[in-house]
Amino acid sequence: MMTQAFYTGVSGIRTHQTAIDITSNNIANVNTVGYRQYNTEFASLFERTLHTDSGSSSVASSVGVGSRVQASTMDLNSGSLMLSERSTDLAIWGDGWFGIAGNGETLYTRAGNFSFDENNDLVTPEGYYVLGTMANNIQGELLTEVITDMPLGDVGAQQNLRFPKLLSFPPIPTTEANFFANIGFEDVPRTVSAGVVDAEGVKNNLQLTFTKRPTQVPPGMQWDVQAQVKSLDGSEIYATVNGEAIFDATGALVSTTLSTIDNRGTTISMNLGGGYSGIVATNSTVTSGYSVANGTIGGELAGYEINRNAEVIATFTNGMQSSVGKIAVYHFQNDQGLERVGSASFRESSNSGKPIFYQDAEGNNILGADVLNYQLENANVRLDTALTELIIYQRAFDANSKSITTADEMIQKALNMSR
């Protein structure tokens, strides 16, 4: 029994020393972004059951011969969220991992404290590249397509998210202009204007002037319309087209001969509407009117941001935006099987399985979790619980040390008695 006390004490010391190390590491990383704490699970080495006389006791007792660490399990609960001032700070709310490329392998992390480096590569504080899907709508330093809903590619197709430092939004010429106004009944010239962009990206003014004809043919009304494309300051007139607009007795637009006009090489379709939609001439409050025209002037890159769909958005000086990439969120069959390689970084293992993407009902890859921008996930360590566990493990360590000391003293006494 005295020898058994040695083995029991030694195994207890080793077991609780491991538990102390794990808990101490949790406490040390309480402020580490995206840290996942580990819990210690214990098991007995062997047990010997002692059967007592049924007349004196109904409880069967056992004597253990030591303990061991059965497992060190990852706590998969999410940590608390804290606000930040950067759109590149991200937090995953739910299941999932960001992918990062570092040291020749793909690692996975919950720490979303990303930033753009001097080359506009999206990186971690350690300089590892963040993985995702590129939109492929950039050629050199020119945006080729505006993308508003960025899909996520396949798992094996994810790549470093790299974006040009200089990027231009090409001008889009205006091809259609829609006009809305109530020009009224009175014989007073009315104007409605629209900003239009020509093929060179220059913004001009398309102005419609309505003049009521001196001689009217009842029951409706007839107006002459002159359309002119001018420079914004009005100093140059680039094109002039004349037509007419016919209204019925209630002021609804019946027909118009005004159709298109040339804007320095680009044809613009002019839509005055029909009926009570568009241009009307009713006996009610006269409005100054408004217009809706497509096209936009060119612009230069103002910066990159990340939205709540984990899309990297390029914003331009002309007010336009476009997705240029999407950050991937990976999933595993067994998150517990991931192998830790840093405070908040992990690699896949045979126990975790290969990384996968979740899919919707149509088979499209989806994030499978909410990605929150301007927020970071704190470590999921509860400091009060961790400190309490540390005290318990230290007391257990001391108790096992004491058992070894006591067993040693008992052996010394036995040896002295045998002399």
What are φ and ψ of residue 236, in 5° steps? -130, 140
Average pLDDT value over all residues in the chain: 89
Residue 55 above 60 pLDDT? Answer: no
What Rg value do the Cα atoms of the chain yield, rounded?
38
- Asked whether 137 and 109 are in contact (CB, 8 A), the reply is no
249, two tokens? 């007795």
Strand 129-134 versus strand 321-327 pairing type: antiparallel
- Asked whether 296 and 318 are in contact (CB, 8 A), the reply is yes
Residues 6+ apart with CB under 8 A from 401: 9, 13
Q: Which DSSP helix (H) or strand (E) runs through 69?
A: strand 67-74
Tens-digit pLDDT profile for residues 340-374:
998 899 999 999 999 999 999 999 999 999 999 99
- Asked whether 308 and 298 are in contact (CB, 8 A), the reply is no
Question: E-assigned strands of 221-373?
Answer: 221-230, 237-247, 253-256, 260-263, 266-271, 273-274, 277-280, 290-293, 299-306, 311-316, 321-327, 329-330, 339-340, 345-347, 358-359, 365-366, 370-373
pTM value is 0.75
Tens-digit pLDDT profile for residues 202-214:
999 999 999 999 9
260, two tokens? 């298109």
Between 202 and 402, where is the model more confident?
A: 202
Q: Is 182 helix (H, G, I), strand (E, B) or coil?
A: strand
In this prediction, what percent of the chain has a pLDDT beyond 90?
Answer: 66
pLDDT at position 114: 95
- Which residue from 400, 373, 263 is spatially nearest to 312, judged by alpha carbons? 373
Tens-digit pLDDT profile for residues 167-214:
999 999 999 999 999 999 899 999 999 999 999 999 999 999 999 999
92, two tokens? 């995953």
- Which residue from 127, 177, 138 is spatially nearest to 294, judged by alpha carbons? 177
pLDDT at position 52: 54
- Asked whether 344 and 33 are in contact (CB, 8 A), the reply is yes
pLDDT at position 47: 59
Confidence of residue 61 (pLDDT cuts 50, 70, 90): low
- Cα 284 to Cα 187, 192, 219, 246, distances in angstroms: 14, 17, 18, 18
Q: Burial level of 211, CB count in 10 A (0-12/13-18/19+)? A: middle
Could you state, in order of their start, the residue ranges of all structural domains in the chain?
2-76+380-418, 81-169+300-377, 183-290
Q: Is 403 helix (H, G, I), strand (E, B) or coil?
A: helix
Instruction: Round to whole Å and give the CA distance between 5 and 212.
Output: 112
Tens-digit pLDDT profile for residues 331-342:
999 999 999 998
